[in-house]
Amino acid sequence: MDTMKLLLGTIIALLLAALVMSWNGMRDKVAATPDDEVAKLREQVSALRAEQERQALERQYVRNGSLPVAPPADASADLDAMKKQVEESQARLAAIEAEKAAKEKESKLSDEEQLLLDQRDMEKKNSLMREARLVSQALLVAKITEFVEDAQTGNFATIQILMPEQVQVDTILAIRRKTGILGQLKVTAVEGTEAVASQLPGFGPVQPIAGDELILPPRF
């Protein structure tokens, strides 16, 4: 029993001696370490501590669901950069929306202008169609038998009267060709079913010919 205690005591003593020798050796080794290596070790320790603090702050963020009270400097810089990117993105989006709205407004105005032009063209076409319809539906009251061009007395036409009750002296007759009107004549003399009519101003380049129809001018 005493022998066992003696062995245990010896082992413990040897362990303590080894521990002391190990500690002394490590201390001597540290003392012999150059200053630059010590500085590197200190930097590594500082980096490890900073990393530990960062991880602790992240765990705090996860637990609380809010930003830490004092976030690290690099985290603050990242947050500022993210805010700046968000602001820039919002500014670009606002610019795009403004440009889109301007184009839509311009397109709307263009469509409205085109619609107005189309409406005017339609009204003009409808007016021309109405005039053509009135001309074509007007009663045929006489026909030109001869058209005479006279620079001294003025141009005139001899006509054949088809509806005597509609043609008297001073009656204004329109010269119809198809659905258009070439000009107008004024009856100056009537004899039976024949009459003479002088040319009124307003003729175009096309001159009347024998066979052209005469109608009472429609009211457009």
Task: Check whether residue 121 and residue 183 sit in a common domain.
Answer: no
Task: Check whether residue 149 and residue 211 sit in a common domain.
Answer: yes
Taking only the tens place, the pLDDT of each residue in 38-54 is 455 556 556 656 666 77
**What is the CB neighbour count within 10 angstroms for residue 147?**
19
State the total domains in the chain. Answer: 3
- pTM higher than 0.85: no
User: Does residue 63 lie in a domain region?
Assistant: no
Taking only the tens place, the pLDDT of each residue in 105-160 is 777 777 778 877 877 777 677 788 888 888 999 999 999 999 999 888 889 999 99
Structural domain range at position 26: 2-55
- Give residues with Cβ within 8 angstroms of 177, minimum separation 6: 206, 212, 213
User: Does residue 66 lie in a domain region?
Assistant: no
Taking only the tens place, the pLDDT of each residue in 56-114 is 776 676 666 555 445 555 555 666 776 677 677 778 778 888 888 888 877 777 777 88
User: Does residue 88 lie in a domain region?
Assistant: yes
Task: Check whether residue 195 and residue 168 sit in a common domain.
Answer: yes
User: Does residue 122 lie in a domain region?
Assistant: yes
* CATH for 175: 2.40.30
> Are the C-beta atoms of 190 and 167 separated by less than 8 Å?
yes
